[in-house]
Amino acid sequence: MRLPISQVIKRLRKEKNATQEDLAKVLNVTYQSVSRWENDLAYPDVELIPLIASYFNVTTDVLFGTDETTVEYKRQEYLKTIEEQENIYNNEDFKRFEKTLKEAIKSFPKDVFFQWKLCSLYHRMGFDCARKNIEALRKFSQFVIENDKSTEGNFRIGCIRIMIRVEDEDKLENWTKYVSDSFYESLPSIMSSRFDYRSEIANYNKQIQQNIYDTLNEMFLRDFCKRDEKTYKNASSRVDGQKIILKIIDIMRDPTEEVDAWIEDRAFAYVRLAGGLVGSGKIEEGFEALEKGIDLYVKIRNLPIGTVLKYNCPSLDLISITVDEHFKEINMLIIKPILTNSKGWEWLNPVRETERFKALVSKVEQSCDCLQKQS
């Protein structure tokens, strides 16, 4: 790297309010020589270095730009230039800005800001530009991710977002692994922006629909149920919450289709509704809800492997569920503890010893036995 002595001499001379002629006279050289030094066209002779340092009352470290004050001054000059060049209107502006950032990185190779800025530049110039500079993006993004130690980690987060958008499919996991709760958005949301950035419309639309369903599912798990001071949850609030969930699902789906991709959401909502109703003392209504839920769980167990379940909803027409053993087992893991273990489902305790409840338990067990024999 070339010595920045030209910049230092010029800065120190101006701070001293001295002219080129003043400095030349002290050093017994021509003012043209000083001009050539300051314009980076030549270097002072070695024997002049101590005299120049003495004239400005600084050390030779300052003169060669290796002291902290001069280094920070140079960094601030880069920051000022970056701010001036950041508005890009054409290819020439881009090239000039890119050159400035590369020079800043060369001068300050451990400064995450300059590397982040270059990654950001390639990204905002569009997908083609990002792909053209993918190797640089990988290198600088990795450095920023590993070295951004700020509390907010905004440069780190920004580089992870950029790389998820521009990276090849087979290398995507190298960046998605960094997504955490510290992000302002979820991985599905970032994936949506990936498809949008790359103009992959089909994937974008499908991801957006998946995000919509995931958001609904999260709302369902929250169950619209208010906490109670004496118990974990209030039984009547549980009833209201599950009825809201079932109403939302009925609005979303085609009610003429009994078996669709909503089946597991409906089954769980009916079972939780049953717990709230029984816990509120509404035994008959509770049994009716429980029987509906069990009936849906049995239908899930009897679905042929490979069945494709649609959501029967225009807003979710691009996503579906394909029935496999895992799908069936997950649902059985949900229903079995409810029927056989009272922990967490104490509201159902008043009816567990009734014949009607035992018949529902037997119905589920028979469905599991039949499936095992078939397999």
C-alpha dist (Å) from residue 281 to 90, 182, 220, 337? 72, 44, 24, 22
Domain boundaries 5-65, corresponding CATH code: 1.10.260.40
Per-residue pLDDT tens over the stretch 53-68: 899 888 887 887 766 7
Burial class (CB in 10 A: 0-12, 13-18, 19+), 373: exposed
Residue 102 predicted with pLDDT over 70: yes
Domain 70-199 -> CATH class: mainly alpha
Q: Which residues contact 7 (CB under 8 A, 6 or more apart)?
A: 40, 65, 74, 77
**Residue (of 234, 218, 314) closest to 276 by Cα position:** 234
What is the mean pLDDT of the segment spanning 129-150?
96
Reported as a pLDDT band with limits 50, 70 and 90, residue 96 is very high
Beta carbons of 119 and 83 less than 8 angstroms apart: no
Instruction: Please state, rounded to an integer, the average pLDDT across all residues of the chain.
Output: 90
Number of residues that this document lists for the chain: 375
What is the mean pLDDT of the segment spanning 60-79?
81
Q: pTM for the whole thing? A: 0.69
pLDDT for the residue numbered 374: 40
Beta carbons of 8 and 62 less than 8 angstroms apart: yes
Residue 79 predicted with pLDDT over 70: yes
DSSP code of residue 321: E
Alpha helices for the chain (secondary structure H): 5-15, 20-27, 31-38, 49-56, 60-63, 68-85, 91-107, 112-124, 127-132, 134-147, 154-166, 173-176, 187-197, 201-222, 235-252, 263-279, 283-302, 325-340, 355-374
Rounded to 5°, the CA angle 230-232-238 comes to 110
Per-residue pLDDT tens over the stretch 307-354: 999 999 999 999 999 999 999 988 888 888 888 777 788 899 999 999
